[in-house]
Amino acid sequence: MTDPFPAGDVPEGVSASADVSIEELQLSLRNHGMHLEGLRYDVTPAGMHYLLIHFDVPEGDDATWLLTVDGLVDTAMALSMADLRSRPRVTVQVTMECAGNGRARLTPRPISQPWLTEAIGTAEWTGTPLRPILEEAGVQDDAVELVFTGADRGIQGDVEQDYQRSLAISDAMRQEVLLVYEMNGAPLPPQHGFPLRLVVPGWYGMTSVKWLTGITAVAEPFEGFQQTAYRFRQRPEDEGEPVTRMRPRSLMIPPGIPDFLTRRRFVDAGTVELRGRAWSGTGPIERVEVSADAGASWADARLGRPASPYAWTPWTFTWDASPGQYELSPRATDAGGNTQPLEQPWNLHGFANNSVQRVPVEVRAR
């Protein structure tokens, strides 16, 4: 990766050090990742799914919670949780990833939640489709976006705010967009949005607003803090393109056994069955390749079938491991022809760094 600030003149919010500060550590201990051995499960077990909470986990009360639908609609609505549960019920497996996944591997390093590669998970979400609710409310022709408001409140970039994100009407109207009240067959855990959240399959997680209290149809594109923050910029003054759908990525279960502190892997020589998952928000996964030589050569993995169009695709690869030092990488390609880069794509806030996973492995003679 070419250093975007070769003179060492890094802008505010970017660190020249790979080490993280106590403030970033504080975030990493709250906003945890998925254990990569969790890639063995189709559905990530409760509590193992990645989590990113901007402010605090609010105290939600199922009995009194109300979702308001207002703004440029013919009929404003206020829906209780009982109302929402009485509507058509849909369950679907969805893979979700944080837009900041990979951020802490960048040089220089954008300062925020310091993800490495673990900000992922697949849950079985249960809820009701959003579209029929919008149709009942009657979104007016002059509305261009819907603003989704969560109950978590705090300060970011000197702006006090409820967490808010918007979607274009056409994106919000897609049949897979759900108002969700269950995760893996149980009520949403508080930290995943109890009692109600939005789930937008295929998009990075910031779009799937937790603790959802309001949906407002608006006439102008929303320019709230979270909407302008999630953009691809090289320099602070750039307008940038919005961060939307997940780029392709594949991760493998690190084989063998780990060293506690370094997480370095030790594998016994012989036939090793490598396993992992791949996903993309821009098309079905069509190919996963594996390299055991730091990306110099690649061979195709065998693909399984995803549990839903929005869930990750399992893959396996048989590796004949002889003693020595290796760097293992999987690389995913989707039906849109999008593939993972070997170099890290740098941007100012460290979004969508989908460069290939690199797993150093020492193979030991048996």
Note the residues at the interface with its own copies (CB under 8 A): 17-23, 25-30, 32-33, 35, 37-38, 40-41, 45-49, 51, 53-57, 59, 104-105, 111-112, 114-116, 118, 153-157, 160, 186, 189-192, 254, 257-263, 266
262 vs 325 by CB, closer to its own copies: 262
Least distance to its own copies, CB of residue 180, Å: 16
To the nearest whole angstrom, how small is the minimum distance from the Cβ of residue 58 to its own copies?
Answer: 8
Which C-beta is closer to its own copies: that of 69 or that of 119?
119
Kindly give the pairing relationship between strand 120-129 and strand 90-97: antiparallel
Beta bridge partners of 131: none
Taking the complex as a whole, the smallest distance from the CB of residue 191 to its own copies amounts, in Å, to 6
User: How far apart (Å, rounded) are the C-alpha atoms in residues 184 and 191?
Assistant: 14
Peptide bond into 108 cis (omega under 30): yes
Cα 136 from chain centroid (whole Å): 30
Closest CB to its own copies among residues 28, 316: 28
Alpha-carbon distances of 198 from 151, 181, 316, rounded to whole Å: 12, 9, 32
Token reading at 284: 């079905």
CB of 196 to its own copies, least distance (A): 16
Cβ-based nearer residue to its own copies, 7 or 261: 261
Write down the least CB distance from residue 343 to its own copies, Å.
Answer: 18
| Shortest distance in whole angstroms from residue 9 CB to its own copies | 21
Nearer to its own copies, 115 or 204 (CB): 115
Q: Are 315 and 343 in contact (CB under 8 A)?
A: no
Token representation of residue 264: 């370095």
As measured in angstroms, the least distance from the Cβ of 349 to its own copies is: 12
CA angle 229, 215, 92 (to 5 degrees): 85
Q: Please state the three-class secondary structure of 47-116 as a single string.
A: CCCCCCCCCCCCCCCCCCCEEEEEECECCCEEEEHHHHHCCCCEEEEEEEECCCCCHHHCCCEECCCCCC
Query: How long is the chain?
Result: 366
CB contact set of 30 (below 8 Å; sequence gap of 6+): 51, 53
Q: What angle do CA 308, 337, 203 make, to 5 degrees?
A: 45
Of 58 and 240, the one with the shorter C-beta distance to its own copies is: 58
**Token pair of 166 as six digits:** 């918007």
On whether the CB atoms of residues 272 and 290 are closer than 8 A, the answer is no
For residue 174, the minimal CB distance to its own copies (Å) is 29
Between residues 154 and 284, which has the closer beta carbon with respect to its own copies? 154
Taking the least distance from each CB to its own copies, the nearer of 51 and 143 is: 51
Residue 363 Cβ vs its own copies, minimum distance, rounded to whole Å: 14
Comparing CB distances to its own copies, the nearer of 21 and 318 is 21
Q: DSSP 3-state assignment of 27?
A: helix
